Amino acid sequence: MQPATTPNISAELRRRVETARRVLVLTGAGVSAESGVPTFRGGGNSAVWKGLPFDVISSGAMLERNLPAVWEWFDYRRDVLRALAPNAAHEAIASWQERFADLTLVTQNVDGLHQRAGSRNVVELHGNIWRARCTVCRLVHEVPSEGERPEACDECGNELRPDVVLFGEMLPPGAFEFALERAARCEMCFVIGTSGLVYPAASLPEVAQSSGAFVCEINPERTALSSMCDEVVVGKAGEVLPGI
Ligand code: APR
Protein backbone atom coordinates (compact mmCIF):
# COMPACT_ATOMS: atom_id res chain seq x y z
CA MET A 1 0.00 0.00 0.00
CA GLN A 2 1.33 3.46 -0.86
CA PRO A 3 1.57 5.98 1.99
CA ALA A 4 -0.98 8.78 1.93
CA THR A 5 1.88 11.29 2.07
CA THR A 6 5.59 10.92 1.47
CA PRO A 7 7.19 11.57 4.82
CA ASN A 8 9.72 14.33 5.08
CA ILE A 9 12.72 12.26 6.08
CA SER A 10 16.39 13.01 5.64
CA ALA A 11 18.87 11.25 3.37
CA GLU A 12 20.74 10.32 6.55
CA LEU A 13 17.71 8.50 7.95
CA ARG A 14 17.16 6.67 4.64
CA ARG A 15 20.82 5.59 4.63
CA ARG A 16 20.61 4.42 8.23
CA VAL A 17 17.42 2.47 7.57
CA GLU A 18 18.99 0.79 4.54
CA THR A 19 22.05 -0.39 6.44
CA ALA A 20 20.75 -1.04 9.98
CA ARG A 21 20.63 -4.63 11.20
CA ARG A 22 19.85 -4.22 14.90
CA VAL A 23 16.78 -2.03 15.33
CA LEU A 24 14.79 -1.21 18.46
CA VAL A 25 11.27 0.21 18.18
CA LEU A 26 9.65 1.78 21.23
CA THR A 27 5.94 2.46 20.86
CA GLY A 28 3.33 4.22 22.93
CA ALA A 29 -0.36 5.01 22.81
CA GLY A 30 0.01 7.21 19.69
CA VAL A 31 0.69 4.16 17.53
CA SER A 32 -2.85 2.95 18.27
CA ALA A 33 -4.48 6.39 17.97
CA GLU A 34 -5.37 5.91 14.31
CA SER A 35 -7.12 2.66 15.24
CA GLY A 36 -9.38 4.74 17.49
CA VAL A 37 -7.73 3.97 20.83
CA PRO A 38 -7.65 7.18 22.91
CA THR A 39 -4.19 8.31 24.04
CA PHE A 40 -3.62 9.16 27.70
CA ARG A 41 -2.08 12.59 27.20
CA GLY A 42 -2.05 15.21 24.50
CA GLY A 43 -4.82 16.41 22.21
CA GLY A 44 -5.92 18.95 24.81
CA ASN A 45 -7.68 16.37 26.97
CA SER A 46 -6.52 13.99 29.59
CA ALA A 47 -8.32 10.70 30.01
CA VAL A 48 -10.91 10.66 32.77
CA TRP A 49 -13.11 7.74 33.83
CA LYS A 50 -16.18 8.55 35.93
CA GLY A 51 -14.50 11.70 37.19
CA LEU A 52 -11.24 9.97 38.08
CA PRO A 53 -8.06 10.89 36.16
CA PHE A 54 -6.59 7.82 34.43
CA ASP A 55 -3.55 7.81 36.73
CA VAL A 56 -5.90 7.48 39.74
CA ILE A 57 -8.21 4.78 38.39
CA SER A 58 -5.20 2.95 36.86
CA SER A 59 -3.18 2.94 40.07
CA GLY A 60 -1.90 0.30 42.42
CA ALA A 61 -3.49 2.29 45.26
CA MET A 62 -6.94 2.06 43.62
CA LEU A 63 -6.45 -1.66 43.12
CA GLU A 64 -5.85 -2.06 46.85
CA ARG A 65 -8.91 0.06 47.65
CA ASN A 66 -11.39 -0.96 45.01
CA LEU A 67 -10.50 -3.83 42.67
CA PRO A 68 -14.03 -3.97 41.12
CA ALA A 69 -13.71 -0.31 40.05
CA VAL A 70 -10.36 -1.06 38.39
CA TRP A 71 -11.93 -4.05 36.59
CA GLU A 72 -14.84 -1.86 35.48
CA TRP A 73 -12.39 0.56 33.84
CA PHE A 74 -10.45 -2.26 32.16
CA ASP A 75 -13.68 -4.02 31.07
CA TYR A 76 -14.72 -0.74 29.46
CA ARG A 77 -11.36 -0.41 27.68
CA ARG A 78 -11.59 -3.99 26.37
CA ASP A 79 -15.11 -3.27 25.11
CA VAL A 80 -13.79 -0.28 23.18
CA LEU A 81 -10.91 -2.34 21.76
CA ARG A 82 -13.09 -5.23 20.65
CA ALA A 83 -14.42 -3.22 17.72
CA LEU A 84 -11.02 -1.82 16.67
CA ALA A 85 -8.33 -3.16 14.35
CA PRO A 86 -4.60 -2.61 13.84
CA ASN A 87 -3.73 0.33 11.58
CA ALA A 88 -1.07 1.02 8.95
CA ALA A 89 1.51 1.82 11.65
CA HIS A 90 1.11 -1.56 13.37
CA GLU A 91 1.28 -3.24 9.97
CA ALA A 92 4.42 -1.38 8.89
CA ILE A 93 6.16 -2.28 12.17
CA ALA A 94 5.14 -5.94 11.76
CA SER A 95 6.62 -5.93 8.25
CA TRP A 96 9.95 -4.69 9.66
CA GLN A 97 10.50 -8.18 11.09
CA GLU A 98 11.31 -9.29 7.56
CA ARG A 99 13.24 -6.16 6.74
CA PHE A 100 15.72 -5.88 9.61
CA ALA A 101 17.91 -8.80 10.66
CA ASP A 102 17.34 -8.17 14.36
CA LEU A 103 14.23 -6.23 15.33
CA THR A 104 13.10 -5.71 18.90
CA LEU A 105 9.66 -4.22 19.41
CA VAL A 106 9.13 -2.77 22.88
CA THR A 107 5.68 -1.39 23.60
CA GLN A 108 4.09 0.45 26.45
CA ASN A 109 0.69 -0.41 25.00
CA VAL A 110 -1.51 -3.02 26.59
CA ASP A 111 -4.01 -3.32 23.72
CA GLY A 112 -2.46 -6.30 21.87
CA LEU A 113 -2.77 -4.54 18.48
CA HIS A 114 0.89 -5.11 17.54
CA GLN A 115 0.37 -8.85 17.93
CA ARG A 116 -2.88 -8.72 15.97
CA ALA A 117 -0.93 -7.04 13.13
CA GLY A 118 1.53 -9.96 13.16
CA SER A 119 4.37 -8.73 15.38
CA ARG A 120 6.02 -11.56 17.27
CA ASN A 121 8.00 -11.56 20.52
CA VAL A 122 6.64 -8.16 21.52
CA VAL A 123 8.23 -6.90 24.73
CA GLU A 124 5.26 -5.63 26.73
CA LEU A 125 6.58 -3.28 29.39
CA HIS A 126 3.16 -2.51 30.83
CA GLY A 127 1.41 -5.87 30.45
CA ASN A 128 -1.62 -6.75 28.37
CA ILE A 129 -5.29 -5.97 28.84
CA TRP A 130 -6.25 -9.40 27.41
CA ARG A 131 -4.71 -11.15 30.39
CA ALA A 132 -5.61 -11.37 34.08
CA ARG A 133 -3.39 -12.58 36.87
CA CYS A 134 -4.02 -14.03 40.28
CA THR A 135 -3.55 -11.54 43.12
CA VAL A 136 -2.07 -14.34 45.25
CA CYS A 137 -0.26 -16.98 43.17
CA ARG A 138 0.24 -14.72 40.09
CA LEU A 139 -0.99 -17.38 37.65
CA VAL A 140 -1.80 -15.68 34.35
CA HIS A 141 -5.18 -16.27 32.68
CA GLU A 142 -6.23 -15.28 29.17
CA VAL A 143 -9.20 -12.93 28.97
CA PRO A 144 -11.26 -14.06 25.98
CA SER A 145 -12.31 -11.42 23.45
CA GLU A 146 -15.84 -12.85 23.52
CA GLY A 147 -17.81 -13.86 26.60
CA GLU A 148 -17.10 -13.39 30.29
CA ARG A 149 -13.68 -12.81 31.76
CA PRO A 150 -12.59 -15.35 34.40
CA GLU A 151 -13.62 -14.25 37.91
CA ALA A 152 -11.24 -16.29 40.06
CA CYS A 153 -7.93 -18.09 39.78
CA ASP A 154 -8.16 -21.59 38.26
CA GLU A 155 -5.35 -22.73 40.50
CA CYS A 156 -6.07 -21.28 43.95
CA GLY A 157 -9.51 -19.65 43.61
CA ASN A 158 -8.32 -16.20 44.68
CA GLU A 159 -9.20 -12.89 43.04
CA LEU A 160 -7.83 -11.95 39.63
CA ARG A 161 -6.59 -8.54 38.59
CA PRO A 162 -5.69 -7.10 35.18
CA ASP A 163 -2.21 -8.27 34.11
CA VAL A 164 -1.27 -4.66 33.52
CA VAL A 165 1.26 -2.42 35.24
CA LEU A 166 -0.61 0.24 37.18
CA PHE A 167 0.77 3.57 38.37
CA GLY A 168 2.98 3.02 41.36
CA GLU A 169 3.69 -0.62 40.48
CA MET A 170 6.85 -2.38 39.37
CA LEU A 171 7.34 -3.51 35.77
CA PRO A 172 7.06 -7.25 35.08
CA PRO A 173 10.30 -8.99 36.00
CA GLY A 174 12.77 -9.25 33.12
CA ALA A 175 10.93 -7.23 30.47
CA PHE A 176 12.69 -3.93 31.01
CA GLU A 177 16.06 -5.58 31.55
CA PHE A 178 15.68 -7.37 28.20
CA ALA A 179 14.68 -4.11 26.47
CA LEU A 180 17.61 -2.30 28.06
CA GLU A 181 20.07 -4.88 26.81
CA ARG A 182 18.60 -4.57 23.28
CA ALA A 183 18.70 -0.76 23.48
CA ALA A 184 22.36 -0.85 24.42
CA ARG A 185 23.29 -2.77 21.29
CA CYS A 186 20.95 -1.43 18.60
CA GLU A 187 22.08 0.71 15.67
CA MET A 188 18.73 2.41 15.07
CA CYS A 189 16.03 3.30 17.55
CA PHE A 190 12.55 4.44 16.53
CA VAL A 191 10.42 6.18 19.14
CA ILE A 192 6.85 6.16 17.93
CA GLY A 193 3.73 7.68 19.45
CA THR A 194 4.90 8.13 23.01
CA SER A 195 4.99 11.30 25.07
CA GLY A 196 8.24 10.07 26.64
CA LEU A 197 7.05 11.02 30.09
CA VAL A 198 6.82 7.62 31.72
CA TYR A 199 9.99 5.99 32.99
CA PRO A 200 11.77 3.66 32.74
CA ALA A 201 10.42 3.16 29.18
CA ALA A 202 11.45 6.70 28.25
CA SER A 203 15.07 5.99 29.13
CA LEU A 204 15.47 3.40 26.33
CA PRO A 205 16.11 5.94 23.51
CA GLU A 206 18.71 7.67 25.71
CA VAL A 207 20.45 4.36 26.36
CA ALA A 208 20.36 3.53 22.64
CA GLN A 209 21.83 6.88 21.68
CA SER A 210 24.57 6.81 24.26
CA SER A 211 25.54 3.40 22.86
CA GLY A 212 25.88 4.94 19.38
CA ALA A 213 22.42 4.37 17.85
CA PHE A 214 20.64 6.86 15.60
CA VAL A 215 17.37 7.80 17.30
CA CYS A 216 14.33 8.83 15.25
CA GLU A 217 11.04 9.99 16.71
CA ILE A 218 7.73 9.86 14.87
CA ASN A 219 4.99 11.91 16.45
CA PRO A 220 2.62 14.67 15.32
CA GLU A 221 3.65 16.74 18.37
CA ARG A 222 6.95 17.52 20.04
CA THR A 223 7.58 15.44 23.16
CA ALA A 224 9.85 15.27 26.16
CA LEU A 225 12.25 13.21 24.01
CA SER A 226 12.26 15.35 20.83
CA SER A 227 15.28 17.44 21.73
CA MET A 228 17.52 14.41 22.28
CA CYS A 229 16.51 12.65 19.06
CA ASP A 230 18.78 12.67 16.00
CA GLU A 231 15.76 13.11 13.78
CA VAL A 232 12.16 14.05 14.47
CA VAL A 233 9.59 13.19 11.83
CA VAL A 234 6.49 15.23 12.54
CA GLY A 235 3.42 13.29 11.52
CA LYS A 236 1.02 10.49 12.29
CA ALA A 237 2.58 7.06 12.60
CA GLY A 238 0.07 5.49 10.20
CA GLU A 239 1.00 8.01 7.52
CA VAL A 240 4.76 8.20 8.10
CA LEU A 241 5.75 4.57 8.74
CA PRO A 242 4.58 3.01 5.47
CA GLY A 243 6.81 5.51 3.67
CA ILE A 244 10.00 4.75 5.59
N1 APR B 1 0.91 8.90 15.51
C2 APR B 1 1.97 9.03 16.36
N3 APR B 1 1.88 9.59 17.55
C4 APR B 1 0.70 10.06 17.95
C5 APR B 1 -0.46 9.96 17.15
C6 APR B 1 -0.32 9.36 15.87
N7 APR B 1 -1.34 9.23 15.03
N8 APR B 1 -1.49 10.52 17.82
C9 APR B 1 -1.01 10.94 19.00
N10 APR B 1 0.31 10.67 19.09
C11 APR B 1 1.24 10.94 20.17
C12 APR B 1 0.91 12.13 21.05
O13 APR B 1 1.38 13.33 20.46
C14 APR B 1 1.65 11.78 22.34
O15 APR B 1 2.99 12.24 22.28
O16 APR B 1 1.21 9.83 21.04
C17 APR B 1 1.67 10.24 22.32
C18 APR B 1 0.79 9.62 23.36
O19 APR B 1 1.30 9.89 24.63
P20 APR B 1 0.67 9.25 25.96
O21 APR B 1 -0.80 9.35 25.88
O22 APR B 1 1.37 9.86 27.10
O23 APR B 1 1.01 7.69 25.81
P24 APR B 1 2.32 6.91 26.24
O25 APR B 1 3.55 7.69 25.99
O26 APR B 1 2.18 5.56 25.62
O27 APR B 1 2.11 6.78 27.80
C28 APR B 1 3.00 5.98 28.52
O29 APR B 1 1.65 6.11 30.47
O30 APR B 1 -0.51 6.15 31.20
C31 APR B 1 0.61 5.41 31.11
O32 APR B 1 0.82 3.09 31.18
C33 APR B 1 0.35 4.13 30.37
O34 APR B 1 1.71 3.02 28.74
C35 APR B 1 1.20 4.28 29.14
C36 APR B 1 2.29 5.22 29.60
pLDDT single digits (tens) 40-75: 876 545 567 788 888 899 999 999 999 999 999 999
Give domain status of residue 70, yes or no: no
What ligand 1 atom has the least distance to the C-alpha of 237? 1
Beta strand 160-164 with 188-192 is unpaired
Structure confidence at residue 8 (pLDDT): 83
- The domain total for the chain is 1
What ligand 1 atom has the least distance to the C-alpha of 195? 15
Phi, psi of 136 (to 5 degrees): -110, -60
Give domain status of residue 107, yes or no: yes
Give domain status of residue 237, yes or no: yes
Q: Which of 195, 216, 221, 244 to mutate to test the pocket of ligand 1 (most atoms within 8 A of CB)?
A: 195
Give domain status of residue 157, yes or no: no
- Give the start-end residues of each E strand in 101-176: 102-107, 123-124, 127-134, 140-142, 160-164
**Low-confidence residues in the chain, pLDDT < 70:** 1-6, 42-47
Q: Are 187 and 164 in contact (CB under 8 A)?
A: no
Judge whether 114 counts as a catalytic residue: no
Tell the residue nearest (CA) to atom 13 of ligand 1: 221
Structure confidence at residue 22 (pLDDT): 98
Beta strand 48-49 with 52-53 is antiparallel
Give domain status of residue 221, yes or no: yes
CA 198 to ligand 1 center in whole angstroms: 10
CA 42 to ligand 1 center in whole angstroms: 7
Give domain status of residue 195, yes or no: yes
Give Cα 181 distance to the centre of its chain.
Answer: 18
Q: Are 60 and 168 in contact (CB under 8 A)?
A: yes
Q: Which domain holds residue 199?
A: 3-37+86-126+171-243
CATH of the domain at 191: 3.40.50.1220
